[in-house]
A and B are shown apart, each in its own frame.
Chain A
Amino acid sequence: MEKIKLTIAVSGLNAIDSPGPGIGVIRSLRDCQDFDLRIIGLSYEALEPGVYMHDVVDKSYQIPYPSSGSKELEIRLKYIHEKESLNVIIPTFDAELANFIKLVPILDKWGVACFMPNMEQLTALDKMHLADFGKEHGFDIPKTEFISSLSQVEEMEDEFDYPMVVKGKYYEAYIAKNKGQIESYFHKLNAKWGLPVVIQEFVNGTEIVIAGLGDGTGETMGAIPLRKLYITDKGKGWSGVVLEDEALIELTNKFVKASKWKGGFEIEIMRTDEGKFYIMEINPRFPAWIYTTAAAGQNLPAAMVKLALGEKIEPFTSYEAGKMFVRYSWDLITDISEFQEITTTGEL
Chain B
Amino acid sequence: MILKKSIAVSKSGFIFNPTTGDSYTVNQVAAEILELLKESKTLAEVKQEILQSYDVYEKSLDEDLHDFSAHLQQIVLAEYGKD
Which residues of A pack against B, CB within 8 Å?
A: 206, 226-227, 229, 240-245, 321-322
Which residues of B pack against A, CB within 8 Å?
A: 6, 8, 16, 18-21, 23
* CA gap between A37 and B8 in the complex, in Å: 38
- Asked if B8 contacts A322 (CB within 8 A), the reply is yes
Given contacts A227-B20, A227-B21, A243-B20, 13 further A-B contacts (CB under 8 A): A206-B20, A206-B21, A226-B21, A240-B21, A241-B21, A242-B18, A243-B18, A245-B18, A245-B19, A321-B18, A322-B8, A322-B16, A322-B18
- Asked if B6 contacts A244 (CB within 8 A), the reply is yes
Chain A residues near B16 (CB, 8 Å)? 322
Chain B residues near A244 (CB, 8 Å)? 6, 18-19
Chain A residues near B8 (CB, 8 Å)? 322
Chain B residues near A322 (CB, 8 Å)? 8, 16, 18
Chain A residues near B6 (CB, 8 Å)? 244, 321
Q: Which residue of chain B is the closest to A228 with respect to CB atoms?
A: B21
Shortest B75–chain A CB gap in Å is 12
Shortest A266–chain B CB gap in Å is 17
* CA gap between A118 and B16 in the complex, in Å: 40
Would you mind naming 18 contact pairs between A and B with Cβ atoms under 8 Å apart? A206-B20, A206-B21, A227-B20, A229-B21, A241-B21, A241-B23, A242-B18, A243-B18, A243-B19, A243-B21, A244-B6, A244-B18, A244-B19, A245-B19, A321-B6, A322-B8, A322-B16, A322-B18
* CA gap between A322 and B16 in the complex, in Å: 8
* CA gap between A153 and B6 in the complex, in Å: 46
Best-buried of B8, B18, B20, B21 by chain A (most CB within 10 Å):
B21
* CA gap between A242 and B19 in the complex, in Å: 9
Q: Which residue of chain B is the closest to A320 with respect to CB atoms?
A: B18
Chain B residues near A245 (CB, 8 Å)? 18-19
* CA gap between A244 and B19 in the complex, in Å: 5
* CA gap between A203 and B21 in the complex, in Å: 19
* CA gap between A321 and B20 in the complex, in Å: 11
Shortest B56–chain A CB gap in Å is 33
* CA gap between A226 and B16 in the complex, in Å: 14
Report the 7 A-B pairs with minimum CB-CB distance, sorted nearest first.
Answer: A227-B21, A321-B18, A244-B18, A241-B21, A245-B19, A243-B21, A243-B18
